[in-house]
Every structure is written in C-alpha cells, then in structure tokens.
C-alpha cells in the first residue's frame, strides 16, 4: 500500500525523479534521485530556501559560482535567490533529502538560467 502512495507522489524529470514525503506550514520535504550524469538546471527561487542532505552517492553542487563536492552524510544550505544546481558525476544514483522552507513552495518558483535538457 505504501508503494502506491509513493508512486502517487513521484514526479519524473529528465534528470531523475523526486518524491514529496512531508509537507506542512512553510516547509516541504522531498527525496530527490538524480541519475548518473544527471543535472538539475542552474536555477534560483524567489520564495524559498533549501537544505540538501546527501544520503547516497556523490554530488557536485554549484552555489553562486562556487563548486562543492558532497559525499554521503554531507549537507549544504541554498539561500533564497541563490543561483544553484546539482550534478551527479558518479555511475550510481545520487539520492538526497531536500528541505524547502519559505512562504511559497511550488514548482513554479523556479527561475532557470541553464539547462542541459532544453527547459530554459
């Protein structure tokens, strides 16, 4: 039964997928799965900050023109309006927990600057 509920919350993207696992007043928690060589668009948000915690794999994070390498157990904070992206350079799936906080938590609060999948 839980698997069916999980599939209802699963949103597929060109780079992998995410599942919303918790939502409340001014917060949203997702599990994000990034395919090998998958990359989320270079983007920012006007209404939310994000906290990323790596649970599996290796992440290359772009945050305001600086690059960070994060392994399992590492985390990073993405402030409101910060330009950011995440890339999976490994041959295994990257998994992270994303905690969004802010006054508006919707997918339409994504401002894309670059995208290898042509979504700009």
Instruction: Give CA separation, 5 vs 2, 9, 20, 21, in Å.
Output: 5, 7, 10, 10
pTM of the model: 0.92
In 3-state terms, what secondary structure has residue 23? strand
- Residues 26-85 have pLDDT tens digits of 999 999 999 999 999 999 999 999 999 999 999 999 999 999 999 999 999 999 999 999
Instruction: Report the first-to-last Cα separation within the chain, whole angstroms.
Output: 37
Give 1-7's long-range contacts (Cβ < 8 A, gap of 24+). Answer: none
Non-local CB neighbours of 68 within 8 Å, separated by 6+ positions: 60, 61, 76
User: What domains can you pick out in the chain, each with its CATH number?
Assistant: 2-114 (2.60.120.10)
């Amino acid at each position: 039964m839980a698997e069916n509920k999980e599939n209802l919350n699963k949103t597929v993207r060109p780079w992998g997928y995410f599942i919303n696992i918790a939502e409340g007043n001014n917060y949203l928690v997702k599990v994000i799965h990034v395919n090998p060589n998958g990359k989320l668009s270079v983007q920012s948000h006007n209404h939310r900050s994000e906290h990323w915690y790596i649970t599996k794999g290796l992440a290359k994070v772009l945050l305001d023109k600086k690059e960070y390498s994060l392994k399992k157990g590492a985390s990073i904070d993405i402030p409101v309006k910060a330009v950011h992206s995440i890339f999976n350079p490994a041959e295994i799936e990257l998994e992270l927990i994303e905690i969004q906080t802010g006054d508006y938590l919707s997918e339409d609060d994504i401002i894309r600057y670059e995208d290898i999948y042509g979504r700009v």
